[in-house]
Amino acid sequence: ETGVTQSPTHLIKTRGQQVTLRCSSQSGHNTVSWYQQALGQGPQFIFQYYREEENGRGNFPPRFSGLQFPNYSSELNVNALELDDSALYLCASSFGLNPSLGVADTQYFGPGTRLTVL
Amino acid sequence: AQSVTQPDIHITVSEGASLELRCNYSYGATPYLFWYVQSPGQGLQLLLKYFSGDTLVQGIKGFEAEFKRSQSSFNLRKPSVHWSDAAEYFCAVGYGQNFVFGPGTRLSVLP
């Protein structure tokens, strides 16, 4: 058990809808990263938040957005859902000392949210 | 661009046999390397990591990995596989705020 929790476990939406996924970080961690894992593939980096600021973004469109709260929990929001958004969404927390130094802190993953878009 | 390749999509071994999962990476600087394991429908569990120092690192569940800079490899090994090791294994390279994962190797274990 990593101490990283995600909700909900499963979610079914229809195309065009909006969805919010939630993540609670491991105690003491100030950095949250979100990943999308399509079936049969490795996780793909969406973005990272460090101390409530976006700290990097992968190759995902702006309709993927996020927030990090003062208690370091986080939300992933996806607008205008598309069928290809169906995936397992993983949240990972870490303790970031200074991301600009290029140090990759060990990331601890939650169990994920399985999103199905119909 | 950074990338990770795992040449074996699926490996099947007998219980008690040895295991080696291959990982090659492309990264211009000193890499931070990780192996994670994922059981069906679950999140990723960290097996081991390499930041610096001794190139042979020990992890949980009896796994170890060896960093070979000259070959840009970070292969995962286990001397004797247990049925509970059946899962998907991901190699990752970390840099800054990003982790780049390989496509994964699915391990099946025969009784």
| Residue A4 touches partner B, C-beta closer than 8 Å | yes
Residues B4 and A44: their CA atoms lie apart, in Å, by: 12
Indicate yes or no: CB of B43 within 8 angstroms of CB of A110.
Answer: yes
Q: Name the average pLDDT for chain A.
A: 90
Which regions of chain B are under pLDDT 70? 96-97
Contact A104 B101 (CB under 8 A): no
- Which residues, numbered 6 to 45 in chain A, qualify as contacts with chain B under a Cβ-Cβ cut-off of 8 Å? 6, 31, 33, 35, 40-45
In this prediction, residue B98 carries a pLDDT of: 74
Per the structure, how many domains does chain B have? 1
| Whether residue A104 has pLDDT greater than 70 | no
User: Which domain, by its residues, includes B18?
Assistant: 3-110
Q: What is the CATH number of the domain that holds B103?
A: 2.60.40.10
Residue with the larger pLDDT of the pair A4 and A104: A4
